[in-house]
Structure 1
Amino acid sequence: MHELGVTFHIMDHLEKVAAENKVTHIRKVTLELGEVSTVIGSYLQNCWTWAAKKRPLFNEAELVLETLPAVTYCEDCQKTYPTVEHGKICPYCGSEHTYLLQGNEFNIKEIEVE
């Protein structure tokens, strides 16, 4: 389960930011999670709940997940389309010359502190 590693990575980063800004407690973290990021939201939530109890900075901190839709770009017709619905083949022109524009990332969007 790589969600635990993702959780530790996020918390490690936030601990550095909190120290730089003299923050003693984080109440809520909003994370943008790409639709095809391979991170499973429910697993990430479970890992966060477990890990937050082990780190005073995050004690009872809420994790909010916002899904970023996966969007693919077609190089041939220059249109975008929903990746999950259509996959790699462009629904407009049938081309396979496509690439993912967004939807594979996870970003810390917002942090609420005391």
Structure 2
Amino acid sequence: MHELGVTFHIMDQLEKVAQENDVERVRKVVLELGEVSTVIESYLQNCWTWAAKKRPLFEKAELIVETLPAVTYCEDCGKTYPTVEHGKTCPFCGSGQTYLLHGNEFNIKEIEVQ
């Protein structure tokens, strides 16, 4: 389960920012999670809940996850389509000459502090 490592990485980064800005408590963290990022939101939420109890800065911090849709671009016909629904094969022309435009992101979007 790499979600625990991801959780620790997020918290480590936020602890640095909090220290630089004299923040004593984080109330909420908003993450953008791409639909095909390989991070499972429910596992991430469970890891966050467990880890937040162990770090005073995040003791009561809420984790909000916003899912970003995965979109693929077809080089042959120039159209975009939903990746999860159609995979690598373009539903418009049947081409496999496609690439992911977005949907694998993992970003800290917003932090609310006390």
Counterpart in the other structure of 1:22:
22
- The aligned counterpart of 1:6 is 6
Same amino acid, percent of matched pairs:
83
Shift of 1:66: 0.6
Counterparts of 1:14-93 in structure 2 under 5 Å? 14-93=14-93
**The residue matched to 2:50 in structure 1 has which SS?**
helix
Deviation at 1:93, TM superposition (A): 1.0
1:112 and 1:27 map into 2 onto residues whose CA distance is 5
Which position in structure 2 is the counterpart of 1:100?
Answer: 100
- List gaps (5 residues or longer) in structure 2: none
Instruction: List structure 1 runs of 4+ shifted beyond 6 angstroms.
Output: none
CA distance in 2, matches of 1:95, 1:89: 6
Question: TM-score if structure 2 supplies the norm length?
Answer: 0.98
CA deviation map 1:9-33 (0-9, x unaligned): 0000000111111111000000011
* One-letter amino acid of the structure 2 residue matched with residue 58 of structure 1: F
Superposed CA RMSD in Å reads 0.6
